[in-house]
Amino acid sequence: MPKRARPCRATSAADLRAEFWRAPDEALLDRKTTAAGLGYTVGWLESAATHGGGPVLTKIGRSVRYRKADVLAWLKAHSRRIHSTAELNRRCGD
């Protein structure tokens, strides 16, 4: 009798997010892990890869990987720190 394959346990978003943040900066991460780490969807990363505007990606054959250092650099360049949402309203009204 052939062995039955064990059902693959779905990895939760929290597990993927933790995997992203535990990984060394030079790690190459898949889209699911990268999306969870950033708080974006896999679909958004796919769209950004096609149309631009997302983190730098690395193609290895047919697979796509994101170097954690590149993702963190993109996050730093495309975010800003504010003290309160009132700052956003003042800047928009100027």
Q: 13-93: what fold?
A: Arc Repressor Mutant, subunit A (1.10.10)
Which pTM value belongs to this model? 0.78
Question: If pLDDT is split at 50, 70 and 90, which confidence band does 9 have?
Answer: low
Cα separations in angstroms, 67 against 16, 44, 64, 87: 15, 17, 10, 33
pLDDT digits (tens, 9 = 90+) for 30-65: 999 999 999 999 999 999 999 999 999 999 999 999
Q: Tell me the pLDDT band of 27, cut-offs 50, 70 and 90.
A: very high
User: What are the domain boundaries of the chain?
Assistant: 13-93
Do residues 34 and 20 lie in contact, with contact meaning Cβ atoms separated by under 8 Å?
yes
- Long-range contacts for 33-40 (Cβ within 8 Å, ≥24 apart)? 34/66, 34/71, 37/68, 37/71, 38/71, 38/75
Q: Would you state the pLDDT for residue 2?
A: 59
CB under 8 Å to 26, separation ≥6 — which residues? 67, 68, 69
